Structure 1
Amino acid sequence: FFFFFFFFFFFFFFFFFFFFFFLFLFLFFLFLFLFLFFFFFIFLFLFLFLFLFLFLFFFFFFFFFFFTFFFFFFFFFIDVFVFFFFISIFFFFFFFFFFFFFFFFFFFFFFFFFFFFFFFFFFFFFFLESCRMRIFIFIFQIWHIMYSSRN
C-alpha cells in the first residue's frame, strides 16, 4: 500500500510538474514569438507610413517652394493631412491592439500608453512646426513683396 501510494504520488507529481512546466514554456515562447512578430510588423508599417509622409512632405515643400503666395494654402493642407494621418494611425493601432490584446492583455497597457504618447508627441511636434513655418512664411512674404516692389 505504501509502495503504491509512493509510486503514484511521485508519478503524478512529476507528470503534472513537467506537463505544466513545458506547457508554460511553450506558451511563453509562443507569446514571445507573437509579440515580437507583431511588434516587428507594426513598426515596419509605422516606418513605411513615416517615410511616405516625409516623402510627400518634402515633395510638396519643394514643389511649392517658388510659389510664395501658395504657402498658406500649402501649410493648411499639411496640417489637415497630418491631423487625419496621425489620428487615423492612432485609432488603427488602438483598435488593433484592443482586439489583439483582448487575448494578450498583459501587453495592452504598455502598447496603449506607448502609442498614445508617441502619436501625441508627433502630432504636437508637427502642429508647432507648422505654426512656426507660418510665421516664417508670413515674414518672408512681406520681405518678398517689399523687395520685389523696389523697382
Structure 2
Amino acid sequence: MDDIRTWIAEVWEWLPKNVIVKVILVCWAVWGNMNNTVFNQQSIDPKTLMDWVLAYYADWVKVRNATNISNIDSNASTGLRHWQPPLHDFWKINVDVAMDYVNYRMGFGWVVRGGEGEVVGVGWRLVRGVFSVREAEAVGVREVLSWVKGKGWERVIVETDA
C-alpha cells in the first residue's frame, strides 16, 4: 500500500458493506483510544477495544433492524417519525442513552412533556460501565422511574428508541 488514500479506495471497492462498517468503527475506536491516551493518560488494551467495537456493531445492527419494523407512527409521505402527545392527564417521558465505550460509561437523558408538547421536566444520569443497547435502555427507564417516584408522579408514559 502506497498511502492511506489507496488503502481506503481498495477497502471501499473490495470489502462487503458490513466489513467496511467494522473497519470504520475500529478506526474510530483506535482514534478515540489514542486521544484518551494523549490527553488523559488512560488507554484500553487492544483486545478490550475490539470487544467493545464488535459489541457496539452488534447493538447498532440490532437497533437498525428493530427500527425498520418499529410501530412508531410515521408520516407516510416522508417516512419521518414524529412525537405523539400523551393521553389526557399523563406526562410522556422520552429517554435515551449515550454509550462512551472508550471511557467505559453511559449517559442517560430524558425529557418530560405534557399534552401540548410543553416541556415540564428534564433529567440525566451518568453511570460507569457499558451494557448492550437493550440493557442500557432498560437501565435508563429504571433511572427515569426512580426519578418519577421522587417527584410523586403517577400518570406517566415512558418511551425509548430501542
Q: TM-score range by the shorter chain?
A: under 0.3
Q: Higher helix proportion, which one?
A: 1
TM-score (norm 1): 0.26
Q: Higher strand proportion, which one?
A: 2
Q: Which has the larger Rg?
A: 1
TM-score (norm 2): 0.24
